[in-house]
């Protein structure tokens, strides 16, 4: 391995390599995967001069610490957090030069869940089906980072952006997810459909990259029995037998056997990626555009 690499000093609770994922293979049982807060990943790439598809690191709640072997430009975005280089505070949400051998520490999220770390040149692990994303459901792509992992970096291609701080949406104090009902809303009682779009839910601590789990009133089924397995999309709100809606995120299974009561509008999913456990959650029905 060349010295265009970085070593992982502190992997954090869950830090993975992410990019735009691997759509187009759902018929083979391959999840799409990719960064949960895609706009944040795209922004930090832009800040360091990477193309939008370059692989970044996605942290979970408590950040990570990295030591590059060569000088690199980094940008941290997504969930706001303290960032230091060799113990000295540096900017969050802006390009920062990290000298060779210095320790970049991405601290715990002050708000939100997932911070994104772009490094000039991008993380250059071997792609699988055209993507470097870690897929936690099926185990494709590199495993989650562990302390001591060495990650290769690609050659920088662009120059970093000239900004002090790029504006980014704040993690949600209340998560409002717009949904269009169907395809299986008729598997639930009319009362359940009303409950779903009018009552308060909370984001469950059991949420992960596969799904945003919820706490709140259970949704009652009108149709008993089993639904034959069918294809599911990103943002599908699946309702397992316990009646609590699960919003499918990037690592979701490509087929499923529980009825999908509604689908979340794609533009609302990045906020779902940043909602900490306990965040109040409402599903709001909108008409199909």
Contact flags string 170-209 toward other proteins, x per CB under 8 A? ----------x-xxx-------------------------
DSSP string, the chain: --S-EEEEEE--S--EEESS--TT-GGGT------SSHHHHHHHHHHTT--TTS-EEE--SS-EEEEESS-EEEEEEES---EEETTEEE-SSS-EEE-TTPPEEE---SSSS-EEEEETT-B-PPPBTTB----TTT--SSPPP-TT-EEEBPPP-SPPP--S----PPPPSSEEEEEEE-SSGGGB-HHHHHHHHHS-EEE-TT--SSEEEEESPPPPBSS-S-PPPEE--TTEEE--TT---EEE-TT--SEESS-EEEEE-GGGHHHHHTPPTT-EEEEEE----
User: Does residue 29 interact with other proteins by CB under 8 A?
Assistant: yes
User: Does residue 129 interact with other proteins by CB under 8 A?
Assistant: yes
Among 9, 61, 108, 128, the residue binding other proteins under the rule CB under 8 A is 128
CB of 250 to other proteins, least distance (A): 14
Q: Are 117 and 76 in contact (CB under 8 A)?
A: yes
Contact segment (CB under 8 A) with other proteins among 56-64, 82-90, 227-235, 270-278 equals: 227-235
Q: Are 253 and 274 in contact (CB under 8 A)?
A: no
Contact flags string 239-258 toward other proteins, x per CB under 8 A? --------------xxx---
Q: Per residue in 203-213, is it b (16+ CB within 10 Å) or e — as a string?
A: bbeebebbbbb
Which of the residues 76 through 105 are near other proteins (CB under 8 A)? none
In terms of CB distance, is 96 or 263 closer to other proteins? 263
# residues contacting other proteins (CB under 8 A) = 35
CA distances from 214 to 35, 211, 244 (A): 21, 9, 6
279 Cβ contact list (under 8 Å, min separation 6): 172, 173, 174, 175, 202, 203
CB of 135 to other proteins, least distance (A): 9
In terms of CB distance, is 30 or 219 closer to other proteins? 30
Among 35, 56, 260, 269, the residue binding other proteins under the rule CB under 8 A is 260
In terms of CB distance, is 160 or 221 closer to other proteins? 221
User: Does residue 43 interact with other proteins by CB under 8 A?
Assistant: no
Among 36, 38, 48, 140, the residue binding other proteins under the rule CB under 8 A is 140
User: Does residue 120 interact with other proteins by CB under 8 A?
Assistant: no
Among 236, 271, 273, 276, the residue binding other proteins under the rule CB under 8 A is 236
User: Does residue 30 interact with other proteins by CB under 8 A?
Assistant: yes
In terms of CB distance, is 63 or 235 closer to other proteins? 235
Which of the residues 7 through 26 are near other proteins (CB under 8 A)? 23-26
In terms of CB distance, is 54 or 140 closer to other proteins? 140
Contacts with other proteins, residue ranges (CB under 8 A): 23-30, 128-129, 138-140, 180, 182-184, 228-233, 235-236, 253-255, 260, 263-266, 288-289
């Amino acid at each position: 391995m060349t010295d265009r690499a970085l070593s992982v000093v502190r992997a954090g609770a869950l830090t993975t390599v992410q990019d735009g994922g691997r759509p187009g293979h759902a018929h083979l049982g391959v999840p799409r995967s990719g960064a949960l807060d895609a706009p944040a990943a795209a922004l930090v790439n832009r800040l360091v001069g990477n193309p939008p598809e370059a692989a970044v690191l996605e942290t979970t709640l408590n950040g990570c610490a990295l030591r590059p072997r060569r000088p690199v430009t980094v940008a941290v975005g997504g969930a706001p957090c303290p960032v230091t280089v060799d113990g000295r505070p540096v900017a969050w949400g802006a390009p920062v030069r990290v000298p060779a051998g210095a320790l970049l520490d991405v601290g715990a999220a002050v708000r939100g869940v997932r911070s994104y770390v772009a490094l000039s040149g991008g993380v250059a692990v071997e792609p699988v089906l055209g993507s470097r994303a870690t897929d936690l459901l099926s185990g494709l792509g590199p495993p989650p980072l562990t302390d001591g992992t060495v990650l290769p970096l690609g050659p920088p291609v662009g120059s970093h952006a000239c900004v002090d701080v790029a504006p980014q949406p704040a993690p949600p104090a209340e998560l409002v997810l717009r949904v269009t009902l169907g395809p299986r809303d008729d598997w639930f009682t009319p009362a359940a459909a009303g409950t779903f779009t009018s009552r308060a839910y909370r984001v469950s601590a059991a949420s992960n990259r596969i799904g945003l789990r919820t706490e709140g009133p259970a949704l009652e089924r009108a149709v008993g029995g089993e639904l034959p397995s069918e294809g599911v999309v990103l943002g599908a709100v699946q309702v397992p037998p316990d009646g609590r809606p699960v919003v499918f995120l990037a690592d979701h299974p490509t087929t499923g056997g529980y009825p999908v009561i509604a689908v979340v509008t794609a533009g609302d999913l990045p906020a779902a990626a940043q909602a900490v456990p306990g965040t109040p959650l409402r599903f709001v029905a909108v008409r199909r555009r």
